Chain A
Amino acid sequence: MKPLIEQLIAGGPVVTDGAWGTQFQVLGLTPGELADTWNVSCPGLVEDVARSYVDAGSRVILTNTFRSNRITLEAHGLAAQTAELNLAGVRISQTAADGGAFVFASMGPSGKLLMSGEVTEKQLAGAFEEQAQALAAGRPDAIVIETMSDLAEAVIAVRAAAATGLPVVACMVFDTGRNRDRTMMGNTPEQIARELVEAGADVIGSNCGQGIEGYVPVCRRLKEATDRPIWIKANAGLPELAGGKTVYTTTPADFASHVPALIEAGASFIGGCCGTTPEFIRAVCQAVRA
């Protein structure tokens, strides 16, 4: 195990951060606008979100670089800013953490599907290598590959991230099937555990796609399938549209009530994804301490 990961989990479950994207929407991010551009256009707002999680008790915060791979940026005409957006994202989180939290740099999916030929393995590898190196230049504490729906793409991203020498967290979305225990492409927790670890992930897990209650069985199966620590970031339930506004129905207290079961199922890192806020993280911290 990488020393940092070992050191982090030695004292029990580690609380990570909550959602960034849905927080940015509250702050005025418009549909279609790429949140990552805020790293350059309004870094103060990004830093506020990052600091709100540090203040709430997150021991690990991520970076606003989820979409900053060349393939996604190209679709917005921003490919030339790849290195700049990634580096700025790491710097902002480091400033907000100010030594009080570790900074794990975020990498998300390309948005293209390998299998239908929209993108090649070579293009993916190139884009993820470029992003991983750009993030690593800012010296984050680790890299997190998150919200992956396609194991083939996740494996390519993990290899690219592992090549930087930084600890790598890799997590997939389980949102398919009656029990929501498959990825979009049909992979099981056991399959993803095996392949992500083989590709070089130091921590594996799952984020997004469903509310926290569905994560307990997925977490248990991941834990049984590997000796690597497990990372879980659940949504505040599934979003609903009420009167033209996006609403997540799970409350911080509801969310935190599932934390003991997640810990029992083997989670070492616990945080929130879409719809969660600093209030959720405070509630999770309390549940973890209890």
Chain B
Amino acid sequence: MADTSKLYDAILNGDSKTAVAVTKEALADNSDPLELVNKAMIPAMDEVGRRFECEEYFVPELLLAARAMKGSLELIRPLLAERGAQPAGRVVIGTVKGDLHDIGKNLVSSMLEGGGFEVIDLGADVAPEKFVQAVKEKNANIVCLSALLTVTMPSMKTTIDALTSAGIREKAKVIIGGAPVTQQYADEIGADGYGENANVAVQIARRLVAK
């Protein structure tokens, strides 16, 4: 059995190269891929999140850790798929119609991928009907909506309304986020969660798929 602490450290330190090397080594050594995920990778990302919450880590450290996690997961995922294991969830993500800001959305997208979710990124300025179409086609169970401007926040409501009209609101949980967005607004428009930051967004996504 390989030493999972090396993989844990590599992800925590955002060292993608080492994370990939150690994962390869562990798999060659017949380590159980699921155990690598559960004993090293998820605990490492949890610690990254904890450090982010207490301001030891900031966006750069989050990005690097998510990148290391992704590199490692790319090696492990095919093995898990062979056993019929599913991703943590399928997420359709995008910045809502009228809004071209995508830095925050990209960050959440990376963190979700690092968290083991399959992410379908629709980009920025995404019309409600595109979200509807993607949720149907990809059979997604989470929708993440981003907006940086107060003037584009109403597009979040329009998108949720479109999901409802299409009859798929029940199966797709909606998480919203972005600088001007608040929990109060999430409640007002009937979103299932408000991701105050990328780390919280992943926690909420996990909680919603576990329901």
**Contact in complex: A246, B101 (CB < 8 Å):** no
The reply on B55 being an interface residue by CB < 8 A is yes
B contact residues around A32 at 8 Å (CB): 97-100, 125, 152
Instruction: List chain A positions with a Cβ less than 8 A from chain B.
Output: 25, 30-32, 75-76, 111-113, 115-116, 118, 149, 175-178, 182, 184-186, 238-241, 244, 246
Please, which residue of chain B has its CB at the minimum distance from the CB of A246?
B150
Residue from B55, B101, B185 in contact with A241 in the complex, judged by beta carbons closer than 8 Å? B185
Question: Chain B, 15-48, contact with A by CB distance < 8 Å: what is the 0/1 string?
Answer: 0000000000000000000000000000000000
Most central of B100, B154, B155 by chain A CB within 10 Å: B100
A contact residues around B102 at 8 Å (CB): 111
| Size bracket, chain B contacts | 20 to 34
Question: Chain B, 85-125, contact with A by CB distance < 8 Å: what is the 0/1 string?
Answer: 00000000000011111110011001000000000000001
Please, which residue of chain B has its CB at the minimum distance from the CB of A177?
B55
A contact residues around B106 at 8 Å (CB): 113, 116, 118
The reply on B60 being an interface residue by CB < 8 A is yes
Please report the C-alpha to C-alpha distance between residue A176 and residue B102 in the assembled complex, in whole angstroms: 18
A contact residues around B125 at 8 Å (CB): 32
Please report the C-alpha to C-alpha distance between residue A31 and residue B125 in the assembled complex, in whole angstroms: 10
Asked, given contacts A31-B152, A32-B98, A246-B151, whether A241 binds B103 with beta carbons under 8 Å apart, the answer is no
A contact residues around B63 at 8 Å (CB): 115-116
CB distance from B176 to the nearest CB of A (A): 12
CB distance from A277 to the nearest CB of B (A): 16
B contact residues around A178 at 8 Å (CB): 55
**Contact in complex: B59, A186 (CB < 8 Å):** yes
The reply on B180 being an interface residue by CB < 8 A is yes
**Contact in complex: B101, A184 (CB < 8 Å):** no
**Contact in complex: B55, A182 (CB < 8 Å):** yes
CB distance from A282 to the nearest CB of B (A): 24
**Contact in complex: B98, A241 (CB < 8 Å):** no
The reply on B162 being an interface residue by CB < 8 A is no
| Number of inter-chain CB pairs below 8 Å | 65
Please report the C-alpha to C-alpha distance between residue A70 and residue B86 in the assembled complex, in whole angstroms: 42
CB distance from A69 to the nearest CB of B (A): 14
CB distance from B198 to the nearest CB of A (A): 11
10 additional A-B pairs beyond A32-B99, A113-B103, A116-B106, beta carbons within 8 Å, are A25-B151, A31-B149, A32-B97, A115-B60, A149-B103, A184-B58, A186-B59, A186-B60, A241-B150, A244-B154
Question: Chain B, 146-168, contact with A by CB distance < 8 Å: what is the 0/1 string?
Answer: 00011111110000000000000
Please report the C-alpha to C-alpha distance between residue A121 and residue B155 in the assembled complex, in whole angstroms: 33
A contact residues around B180 at 8 Å (CB): 238-241
**Contact in complex: A182, B58 (CB < 8 Å):** yes
A contact residues around B154 at 8 Å (CB): 241, 244
A contact residues around B58 at 8 Å (CB): 176, 182, 184-186
Please report the C-alpha to C-alpha distance between residue A221 and residue B186 in the assembled complex, in whole angstroms: 35
Please report which residues of chain B, range 170-189, place their CB below 8 angstroms from some CB of chain A when the two chains form the complex: 179-180, 182, 185
Q: List 28 A-B contacts (CB under 8 A).
A: A30-B98, A31-B99, A31-B149, A31-B151, A32-B97, A32-B98, A32-B100, A32-B125, A76-B100, A111-B100, A111-B101, A112-B103, A115-B59, A116-B63, A116-B106, A116-B107, A149-B103, A175-B179, A176-B59, A182-B55, A182-B58, A185-B58, A186-B58, A239-B150, A239-B180, A241-B150, A241-B153, A246-B151
CB distance from A12 to the nearest CB of B (A): 34
B contact residues around A175 at 8 Å (CB): 179
Please report the C-alpha to C-alpha distance between residue A75 and residue B155 in the assembled complex, in whole angstroms: 20
B contact residues around A246 at 8 Å (CB): 150-151
Most central of B55, B60, B182, B185 by chain A CB within 10 Å: B60
Please report the C-alpha to C-alpha distance between residue A240 and residue B63 in the assembled complex, in whole angstroms: 29
B contact residues around A25 at 8 Å (CB): 151
CB distance from A262 to the nearest CB of B (A): 23
Please report the C-alpha to C-alpha distance between residue A118 and residue B63 in the assembled complex, in whole angstroms: 13
Please report the C-alpha to C-alpha distance between residue A239 and residue B100 in the assembled complex, in whole angstroms: 19
Asked, given contacts A32-B98, A186-B58, A186-B59, whether A111 binds B179 with beta carbons under 8 Å apart, the answer is no
Question: Chain B, 52-78, contact with A by CB distance < 8 Å: what is the 0/1 string?
Answer: 000101111101000000000000000
